[in-house]
Structure 1
Amino acid sequence: MDGDQAAQMRSLLLALGRRVGRVAVTLWVVFTGVFLALAYVPNPHTATEAYQPRLLYGIYREPRFAAQSEPLVAQYVDWLGRVVTLNLGQMGVGERAVVVREVVAEAVTVTLIHLVPAMLLAIVLGTLIQLLAVAVEYGDASAKTKLFGAAAISVPVFLVAYVLQIYLPGFVIETSGQITDLGYDESTGPFSPANLRAAVWPSVTMGLYLFAIQFRAAGTDLEQYADEPFVKTARAKGVGLLGICRHVFPTRLPAC
């Protein structure tokens, strides 16, 4: 038995290693393609008449890599090393210089603040509703939820964001009883109360979209269990909906 467990563990580690390796190779190919594009595509910002962004005045004006005196391979190794270590240099914002790594870190933090809760809520609600659809006695419940999931996932995200932009501020103001600014304040940190309130809009937008995806995927995955004998037996014994869900969910989990 111990030998079987060790073999399963080795198989799991090998599968995980293969996945990590594929991800690493994919990222290397992508970043190599980016380098080649930067090497041979002329930089439009080297021209004097180049478009000046509204906020970024210290834009990157170096010539393409292939036009520089240093060997291209050496530039590639140096560039790839800076990408891996996130040594992305500086850029001018107004009259000051900011470290690009800090800008990226703040952007990632702000994204995770609204994306993680949206993803967790979407996974829990989407899976739970589909489990309940399997647990009920009506045979067509799963089919209806599947149809609803297909319709929900076809709604463009920008349309959801536009509708929320119109109605969400009014709802928040009416609920809180005061005027609430839902805009991001760059002068404070990502976890300030104002910026956490600003995360409501993107969080709801992404939550609805991810819910539609999970709802659709869970419906396709779970509908096969609606007519399973153990589900019918549980219904006949008077097991509640949540009890049937507790039977279906472990059955769906893949074995290690």
Structure 2
Amino acid sequence: MTRLLTLFRGLLVTAAVLLAASLVIFLLIDAAPGDPAEIMLGTSAQADTLAALRHELGLDLPLFSRYLSWLGGVFVGDFGQSYTYGVAVGELIGDRLTVTLPLTVMATALAVAVSLPLGVVAAARPGRAEDNLASLFAQIGIAVPNFWIGLLLIVTFSLNLKWFPPGGFPGWEAGFNAALGSLILPSIALALPQAAVLTRVTRAAVIEVTNEDFVRTARAKGLTKRRALWRHTVPNALLPVVTMLGLQIPFLISGAVLVENVFNLPGIGSLAYQALSQRDLIVVQNVVLLFVAIVLVVNAGTDALYARLDPRLRARK
């Protein structure tokens, strides 16, 4: 019963946050300068033509009526029609997510695969060559933006070595290997800055847990340093790493805006950029609301993972 109440309370909070976010998103985007009808028809369009298009798009309705119309459509899965592309926004976003979601998953997996071993090894050998190399990697990764990493990867592995395509996305219908190959360089560019942050967090967390009493007790009972590290230290050091990873996933999705434009990928990031430049308000509103929903889902997943990693949190529920 307690778990059901907790779940219901969490759903209510999530719904309230989404509702508040939708209102803020709508008001901010509506206040942005520029007239979608004028952008679509051009500055030389006649006033009556502009008025007819505004009426067709519903832009002449009162502010609150337009908000309620958009929100009601979202609740039933109708996200409206794109002003620029002339297709359903839901279909448009769904097509672009087939690029952005695999890219984000690959970048997240790569960041974790690089940072966890590197951070643990650096913490196990502080002040030595491994630690210095990990610190150098973290500093460079944090300092260099992902779009610049993307440009370097294109020059090195596409233009010079010709191992990977320099950009574009052939589509999954062209074959799994071809589609995956076009996402490798973008995923590396997206993952390296996040891996640098996770490496520093992992190193600090492992060093902190190493000094705890239960680790010293395990060593005093005869457990080797390596076994104590992987059996006791690393599992207890994962909580701050999971916290940082939960914070990074939304940044990975938002960081895809730059990376997708560098590699000319038709993902959700490039869609948001194009829609914003063309004042395609309905697309921008739904994309930003989608980002908010993803953040909420990731936070809920992080809390659930927390409960599995720390039995004390399960006992409180």
Partner of 1:194: 178
Q: TM-score, structure 1 length as denominator?
A: 0.68
- Tell me the distance in 1 between the aligned counterparts of 2:169 and 2:131: 45
- Secondary structure of the structure 2 residue equivalent to 1:184: coil
Q: Which letter does structure 1 place at the counterpart of 2:67? A: Y
Alignment gaps of 5+ in structure 1 = 1-5, 51-60, 175-179
Please report how far the alpha carbon of residue 167 of structure 1 lies from its aligned counterpart in structure 2 after TM superposition. Answer: 0.8
Partner of 1:163: 152
- Tell me the distance in 1 between the aligned counterparts of 2:6 and 2:172: 44
- Tell me the distance in 1 between the aligned counterparts of 2:39 and 2:118: 52
Please report how far the alpha carbon of residue 161 of structure 1 lies from its aligned counterpart in structure 2 after TM superposition. Answer: 0.9
- Tell me the distance in 2 between the aligned counterparts of 1:189 and 1:149: 38
Partner of 1:88: 80
- Secondary structure of the structure 2 residue equivalent to 1:199: helix
Q: Which has the higher contact order (CA 8 A, sep 6+)?
A: 2
- Tell me the distance in 1 between the aligned counterparts of 2:74 and 2:170: 26
Contact in 2 for aligned 1:123/1:214 (Cα 8 Å): yes
Partner of 1:120: 109
Contact in 2 for aligned 1:225/1:231 (Cα 8 Å): yes
Q: TM-score, structure 2 length as denominator?
A: 0.57
Q: Which letter does structure 1 place at the counterpart of 2:202? A: A
Please report how far the alpha carbon of residue 184 of structure 1 lies from its aligned counterpart in structure 2 after TM superposition. Answer: 2.7
Contact in 2 for aligned 1:130/1:219 (Cα 8 Å): yes
Q: Which letter does structure 2 place at the counterpart of 1:211? A: A
Higher helix share: 2
Q: Deviations over 1:7-47 (max 9, x none)?
A: 6x478647744762564245223333245326x85334155
Q: Which letter does structure 2 place at the counterpart of 1:123? A: V
Please report how far the alpha carbon of residue 211 of structure 1 lies from its aligned counterpart in structure 2 after TM superposition. Answer: 0.8
Q: Which letter does structure 2 place at the counterpart of 1:152? A: G
Larger Rg: 1
Residues 35 and 114 (structure 1 numbering): CA distance in 2 closer, same or farther, change over 3 Å? closer
Task: After the TM superposition, list the runs of 4 or more consecutive aligned residues in structure 1 that deviate by more than 6 angstroms.
Answer: 64-67
Alignment gaps of 5+ in structure 2 = 45-51, 238-308
- Tell me the distance in 2 between the aligned counterparts of 1:99 and 1:17: 28
* Aligned partner (choices 104, 110, 114) of residue 93 of structure 2: 104
Contact in 2 for aligned 1:82/1:88 (Cα 8 Å): yes
Contact in 2 for aligned 1:153/1:213 (Cα 8 Å): yes
Residues 195 and 182 (structure 1 numbering): CA distance in 2 closer, same or farther, change over 3 Å? farther
The count of residues paired between Structure 1 and Structure 2 equals: 228
Percent identity, aligned pairs only, is 21
**Mean CA deviation greater in 204-213 or 233-242:** 233-242
Residues 208 and 147 (structure 1 numbering): CA distance in 2 closer, same or farther, change over 3 Å? closer
Q: Which letter does structure 2 place at the counterpart of 1:81? A: G
Higher strand share: 1
Q: Deviations over 1:88-138 (max 9, x none)?
A: 314566xxx54432221121120111210220231243123223333x3x4
Q: Which letter does structure 1 place at the counterpart of 2:233? A: V
Contact in 1 for aligned 2:142/2:193 (Cα 8 Å): yes
Contact in 1 for aligned 2:153/2:185 (Cα 8 Å): yes
- Secondary structure of the structure 2 residue equivalent to 1:247: helix
Q: Deviations over 1:119-167 (max 9, x none)?
A: 0231243123223333x3x444697545753442122112211110111
Question: 2:192 aligned with 1:208, yes or no?
Answer: yes
Contact in 1 for aligned 2:171/2:179 (Cα 8 Å): no
